[in-house]
Every structure is written in structure tokens, then in C-alpha cells.
Chain A
Amino acid sequence: MSAPAGAELGSKGAAARGVTRGARSTTGLGALWVAVVALLAFMPYLVSQADTSILLNFFVLLTMATMWNLLAGYAGMVSIGQQAFVGLGAYGVLVLADAGFNPVAAIPVAAVMCAAISLPISLLVFRLRGGYFAIATWVVADAASLVISSNSSIGGGTGKTVPGMSSLGPRAFEEVTYWAALAVVVVAVGLAYALLRSRLGLVLAAVRDNEVGARSAGARVATARRIVYLVAALGCGAAGALLAVSQLNVQPASVFGVQWSAEMIFVTMIGGIGTIEGPVLGTIVFFLLQQNLAHDGAWYLIIFGSLAVAIAIWAPRGLWGTATSRLRVQLFPVGYHVGRPRRTRDVVPEPPAAPPAASTT
């Protein structure tokens, strides 16, 4: 995941061409990301407790948005029911903590449980396409919420407090939950990136461009979609688990709320669907607006909603997509580049303004 490793290989003939990842030289990007994560890890020592908790919520939403982006932006599955896994992740932590588990250690366990539950759910919702799929995912989320609410041993409709964190002082609690959230978002974005760079990522891109062509070239579309759905459940489950640990209280109406889907969709659309950078940028914009306008009541939501609509109409590729369509910047390069056998030439496919001069030796 750091500096892209070029694979030198000899093909037939004298010409040996290197195949590298990413359209431009991307050495140093790995170092950049390490520096960013290291800086974020020090944040609890640099900023106030309130700001730490804002950053924590930023990580939670970014994790969710990254997962929704994988689903809708790459696998063509527009879900409005990912709160099913947010809620189940939160309740996973609650149940495990009730049984004596350390809540922080329960985060990955709850996430894996969500991934496991997503498999049978996928058998159900994958029978539907497009809008029907979207609605089915919402129905599943509501059903999960109902089942949980009717179970009084885990707090019923009013919810329950997550035990097991009281031994930590307030300062240590803040730090531990912050680092847990940072770890989750780094793993989530890293996993999304690794997935898109893998063979599966190529399958998703091909299916997006031409599904019939992809199938006849051997791509197993249903398997690819199922893996993405599973990963998205894992990520959203981890985000929900973080909510439980950081808020120390789990309520069905809150963790299963459709507002999670609304926020994931908003930030992804604003930042740029179908790019890894998009949700990052969109989540930053969301939190900036929220922090600057939250004291004016719900104004930030209205402004944010209007922004999302405006972007959907005039810049459907989102802020990142629009900005980089000219600049060709890639902070997460996923493509391939074939080196020239002999001399190097710029091979970026820009339509030439004038016909290329005949062999400028």
C-alpha cells in the first residue's frame, strides 16, 4: 500500500516493459499517508477534549461514507440501509460488554459479526435491483431495529448503557476511544484502497463500464458484489461499534436511524462518488459546516442538503472529481501503467490539439 512496486517482466520479443500502478509517479504518497496518520494519532495531546471528540465522530462518519462509496460508487449497489450494520455493530459491542468483554476489544469482533450476518441478508436483498434493492436494504434495517427493540434483555426500545469502560479516567477514556476510531478509519480506508487495487477492483470497474462484456471475460459479478457488501457491513459494523464505545449508550432509534444513510450519501456525493478521496473531502466539508453553523440550529443541515442537491445537478462527480478532472491528481492510485519498451513518451490520453507531428526524432 505504500510506494507502488513496479513489476518488471520480459514479454516476448526484446522489449521488456514494466507494469506499474498509477498513472503518475506516486513515490512519496505512502510517506505522506504515514505522516498524516501519525499527526492524527498525536491529536489528543494537541487539541482540546471537545475537538478530539469531534475528530472521533469525523472518523466514524468517514468510515461509513467510505463503505457506502464502495457499495454505490464502485459496485453499483445503492443501499439506504447500511444503518442496519451500524446498529448491529453497536449492539454487538453492548452484548459482548454485558458478557464481560472489554468494549474496545469487542469492536473488531462486533464488526466481524456484522460481516457474517450480511451474508444471509445479501441472499435476500441481492434478488432485487436498483430502487427495489435500495428499499429492501432499508426494510432490513428497520426489521433489525424492531427485533432489537423488542428484546428487553438488551434494553428494548429505550436502550442501555455499555458497561466496562468506567475503570478508565475521563482523559484515558477520551484517548482510547479516539485511537480506536482512528484505527478503524485507517483500516477502513486502507481496506477499501487495497480492495480497489486488487483484482476485485478491476472487476468492479469493468462491471461498471460493461457488465455483459465483463461476464463474458470471466468476471464473476455476483461474487464481486457479495464481497463488497460483506466488506461494507464489516466497516459500518465497526463504525456502529465505535458509536457504542464512545457514547457508552446504545439506543435503537439512534443507531438504526436512517440519518446515518443520509449522511453517508451526502458526504460521498459532495466529495465525489467513485473516488477514495471523495468521501474524505465530503466528510471534511460536512464537519466544517457543522462546526461553523451548528449554533444556528439546523441551518447546517439545510445548507448541506442544498449543497448536495446543487452538486448532484451541476457537478455530479463531486468536489474531488470536478477538481481533479483537470489536475489528474491521485492520492490513491489504483490504475496500471505500462512502460514504453524503448523511449518514454507522455501517454496520457489527451486529445491532441494538432495532429501529432510525424516522428520528431
Chain B
Amino acid sequence: MAPLLELVHVKKRFGQVTIAEDVSFAVEPGAAVGIVGPNGAGKTTLFGVVSGDVRPDAGDVLLDGRVVSRLDPAARCRLGIGRTYQVPRPFDKMTVFENVLLAAQQGARARGPESYAHALAALDSTGLAPDANRLAGSLGLLARKRLELARALATQPRLLLLDEVAGGLTDLEVGELVSVVREANERGVAVIWIEHVVRALLATVDRLLCLAGGEVIGDGDPREVLASPRVREVYLGTDAAVGESVT
């Protein structure tokens, strides 16, 4: 069986800055993969390559073994790629419910009551239901991040791309977030999660990639990857955080 997602020799530069030199990896259906790496390593850009927002200079993206490199973000979403943005992109003048309903109607191609049910379920699982009728523009940053997640879930993805959704959350909130993501993963949704909050990743993923200098410098069991000398090197100065989370 073909992997759900495959990146083949992806290369991307912004001017002189190399974001990805020759990145290849595959993600199986239902997998839970974490991505770590220093700021500016190109993690977000890599999500853009997968979701279709960013066109790579070379290489291909495959979904279910089929090349989707030429498809636009909407088409890829409809094929099952749901993503969140590190910097939230809410529809400010629409209500929270309408934000999520759009995702259900377009991404999941649901209509009428079915689309309402998808939207309400996404609001329930992210704890946004009480804010359903508020304008998204009136939400605080944390609620906006939840809305990103709710919108991605409402597209009924097979592959969920999470970009730093845990930043700024309290321990309790991280716990809630982890259980939402795990619940989706247990329903068979593959998850790729970029996160600096390593303990959230360790509670969720069974595979960790480390991205630095345009390369994948670590790939495998999360604790082993975090313990590897090369990864510790790029995380120099944040050893404390990594050490804490491994215990």
C-alpha cells in the first residue's frame, strides 16, 4: 500500500536561504509524526509545500501515491489534507460557527444538516461551542488557534497538519489539546505536528522528525531523536526543555 503522504526530493529556497535542500520522507495512513527544529528551519514552509500554498523549486508531493504537486490548496484540502496556520487566519467578520461551517461545506463537501453536524462536532471537540455565535475577529489569540484546529478538523481530513498550536497554552490546556489530537488520530486521521512544546509531542506522536539547515537530521523514535547528538546540537541552549520532557 502506498504511503498516505510522500515528499520526494523536495527543494526550496528563498533567495539565498535554503529551506529544504533535498527533503524526502513518507507518512503512513493513521500515523502520528512530530516535527521539531530551530526557528527559521523551514518547518512552516514545508507545510506550505504539502498543503499547496508554497510551490517547491524541485521535487514532488504525493498523496496516496498520486502526484499532487500541481493541485491548488483547495483541491488538496478536498483530497484530505487539513491544516492549521501558525499565525491564525480566521474569517474575522464571520461567526466562529460560520468559519468552521465553511470548512465542512468546502473541505468536506458536506451540505445542509450534515455540514452543521461536522461544524458543531469540531466546535465541541475544541471547546469553542460556547463561542459559536461570536465574530471570529473578536476572539483572543488562543481562541483563534483553537479555531484553526476546529476548521482543519471540520474539513474531515485524512492528514492533519498542525503548526505550533500548543504555544502559549497552560499545562491543563495542553492536556486538552493533546486529547483532541489523539482522538482524531485514533479515528484514523494521520497527524503531522510541528511543535516547540515537546511534551505535547511526546504525549501524541510515535515518530519525530528534526529539521535543520534544509535537511532532516533526525527521524525515528521521539526520545531517541531528541537524545541524538546532532539534534541536541541544534537545540543547544534548550537542553533543559528537552531534558525535562524526556523524563
CB of A335 within 8 A of CB of B95, answer yes
Given A9-B113, A216-B77, 16 new contacts (CB under 8 A): A7-B112, A7-B116, A12-B121, A205-B98, A212-B89, A216-B73, A216-B85, A217-B77, A217-B82, A217-B154, A218-B78, A218-B155, A219-B102, A335-B98, A338-B132, A351-B138
What does DSSP make chain B's interface, helix, strand, loop or mixed? helix
Checking A209, A212, A219 against B106 with a beta-carbon cut-off of 8 angstroms, the contacting residue is A219
- Report B112 CB to chain A, min CB distance, Å: 7
Mask for A186-228, Cβ within 8 A of B = 1, else 0? 0000000000000100110110111011111111110000000
Considering only residues 109-139 of chain B, those with a C-beta below 8 Å from chain A are 109, 111-113, 116-117, 120-121, 124, 129, 132-135, 138
Binding site for B on A (CB under 8 A): 7, 9, 11-13, 17, 19, 23, 199, 202-203, 205-206, 208-210, 212-221, 335-338, 347-349, 351
Is the pair A210, B91 in contact by a Cβ cutoff of 8 Å?
A: yes
Cα(A229)–Cα(B120), bound, Å: 32
Give the nearest-CB partner of B88 in chain A: A213
Q: How far is the CA of A158 from the CA of B123 in the complex (A)?
A: 63
A13, B121: Cα distance in complex, Å:
10
Task: Let me know if A210 and B90 touch, CB within 8 A.
Answer: yes
Q: Please measure, in the bound complex, the distance between the C-alpha atom of A274 and the C-alpha atom of B74, giving whole angstroms.
A: 25
Whose C-beta in chain B lies nearest to the C-beta of A348? Answer: B133
- Dominant secondary structure at the A interface: mixed
Chain A nearest CB from B100 CB (Å) reads: 9
Q: Is the beta-carbon distance between B98 and A217 smaller than 8 angstroms?
A: no
Q: What does the 1/0 interface line of B147-182 toward A look like (CB < 8 Å)?
A: 000011011000000000000000000000000000
Q: Contact check, A221 vs B89: say whether CB atoms are below 8 A apart.
A: no
Check B117 against A218 for contact (C-beta < 8 Å): no
The interface residues of chain B lying within 8 Å CB-to-CB of A220 are 74-75, 106
* Complex interface: chain B residues within 8 A of A199 (CB): 105-106, 111
Q: A215 — which chain B residues lie within 8 A by C-beta?
A: 52-53, 72-74, 77
B120 and chain A: residue at smallest CB distance: A11
A217 touches B155 (CB 8 A): yes
B176-233 contacts to A (CB < 8 Å):
none
Tell me the complex Cα distance, A17–B119, Å. Answer: 12
**Contact sample, A vs B, 29 pairs, CB 8 Å cutoff:** A9-B117, A11-B124, A12-B124, A199-B106, A202-B94, A202-B102, A202-B105, A203-B106, A205-B93, A205-B94, A209-B90, A209-B91, A210-B91, A212-B89, A213-B89, A213-B91, A214-B91, A216-B51, A216-B89, A217-B154, A218-B108, A219-B102, A220-B75, A335-B95, A336-B95, A338-B120, A338-B132, A347-B132, A348-B133
